[in-house]
Homo-oligomer: A and B are copies of this chain.
């Protein structure tokens, strides 16, 4: 196995210099067509493959972008990355992947690793553990694009792509009201995250807008899981003031709610149930679960777009875009009275 061919080999073969070869390969207009043709032919003949490492070292641009997400096991993140890769590939970028596993330590390490690999920028969604976001500051200092999505830090002052969670809460509630439900409860998480807080705000606003009373007793703060859903539904249905509809913090929780309601022979849509996330199972359970779609694909595309805009401008942090994606209400059986 002989060594890989370089532009020197092409140059030698044609009795020209490497600069000519380099220019020919990069299709400079100053190179004669004849030379270009010869170069490309010889390149093919020698089985030449460019070493992007070398050009990157020289130019300082790797055309590689780092993506940090908590975990690819979470379908939402996989889909976001799917679209990021699709869009950025077409723009000549490669994706270097890093999972934080919901740990700040890993996240810090991810930024470090990616930066050492000289990525041209980073698109990230923060780990749940992350509070101090100073490790992301480095990118701003280096004037390298950083785009945050879904789990973002407002204070970081970088471009973000998020779902309009307020609106998501509002729309879920409004949908239930439109279906005729009047006493709407909310099973959510205690987790201190603006995502969940904003949904509750939207919920309250929708109630207020429709002259329905906001009762703190109808908001159950716990965790988000099937078990938490069962627990929340049980608690709500045992109370004096039974709700006629329940909004669950995510689809798993909604599933738990439905299971409990079925046991109580209050199968939705008798009691309305709506979740958040539009998990793959949501359309297949019985009854089908109405839910708010997170628009993962759109988010990915928006991230890629934001990134491209930043790269294109000489000062990436000149004007900071905050893209807010509209949530989508998916109406299914569980809320269709």
Contacts and interface: CB of A to CB of B under 8 A. Distances in A.
Interface of A: 1, 4, 49-54, 56-57, 62, 64, 71-73, 75, 78-79, 81-82, 85-86, 89, 94-99, 101, 112-118, 141-143, 255, 279-286
Nearest to A62: B53
Contacts of A79: 72-73
Contacts of A143: 1
Contacts of A98: 85, 89, 94-95
A271 B39 CA distance: 68
29 contacts: A1-B142, A1-B143, A4-B142, A52-B117, A53-B62, A53-B118, A54-B57, A57-B57, A64-B117, A72-B79, A72-B82, A73-B79, A73-B82, A75-B78, A78-B78, A81-B97, A82-B99, A85-B99, A86-B99, A86-B101, A94-B98, A95-B96, A96-B96, A97-B97, A279-B280, A280-B280, A281-B281, A281-B285, A286-B286
Contacts of A78: 72-73, 75, 78
Contact of A51 (B50, B75, B116, B255): B116
Given A53-B57, A279-B280, A285-B286, A97 B85 contact: yes
A50 B116 contact: yes
Nearest to A279: B280
Nearest to A74: B78
Nearest to A283: B281
